[in-house]
Amino acid sequence: MLAFIAWTTSLSKTKNMNSTLLKLTALLLILAGVASSCNPEEPDYPIGILFTEYSLESSSCQWRNLNYDDKIIIINSNEELENYISCSDGNYSEIDFSKHTLLLASGKINGHISEISAKDFKQLSSNKYKLYVEVTSCNLTHIASWSNAVVVDKLNNNCHVELNIACKKIEFELGLYKDVYNWLDSFIEFIDREKLAIISTGMNGETFINYYSYTIVKDSIQLTNNSGHIDTNYFHIIHSAKFELHVNNPPSPKPFILIYEKQ
User: What are the residue ranges spanned by the domains of the chain?
Assistant: 47-170, 175-262
Those residues whose C-beta lies under 8 Å from the C-beta of residue 118, and which sit 6 or more positions away, are: 51, 53, 105, 131, 132, 133, 134, 148, 150
Under DSSP, is residue 45 helix (H, G, I), strand (E, B) or coil?
coil
Q: What is the pLDDT of residue 172?
A: 79
112 has pLDDT over 50: yes
Q: How many CB atoms lie within 10 A of CB 175?
A: 12
Q: What is the pLDDT of residue 96?
A: 96
On the question of a cis peptide bond just before residue 46, with omega within 30 degrees of 0, the verdict is: yes
Rounded Cα–Cα distance for residues 173 and 31 (Å): 71
Of the listed ranges 2-16, 78-92, 238-252, the one predicted with least confidence: 2-16
Higher-pLDDT residue of 138, 38: 138
Fold of 175-262: Lipocalin (2.40.128)
Task: Give yes or no for a contact between 85 and 64, defined as CB atoms under 8 angstroms apart.
Answer: yes
Those residues whose C-beta lies under 8 Å from the C-beta of residue 213, and which sit 6 or more positions away, are: 194, 195, 223, 224
Angle (CA) 216-220-222 rounded to 5° is 60
Quote the pTM value.
0.66
Three-state DSSP string of 200-226: EECCCCCEEEEEEEEEEECCEEEEECC
Chain-centroid distance, C-alpha 53: 8
Nearest CA among 53, 132, 65, 147 for reference residue 93? 53
Q: What is the pLDDT of residue 5?
A: 43
Q: What is the pLDDT of residue 37?
A: 47
Q: What is the pLDDT of residues 13-46, one digit of tens each?
A: 555 555 655 555 655 555 555 554 445 577 889 9
168 pLDDT band (50/70/90 cuts)? Answer: confident
Q: What is the mean pLDDT of the chain?
A: 82
Higher-pLDDT residue of 25, 247: 247
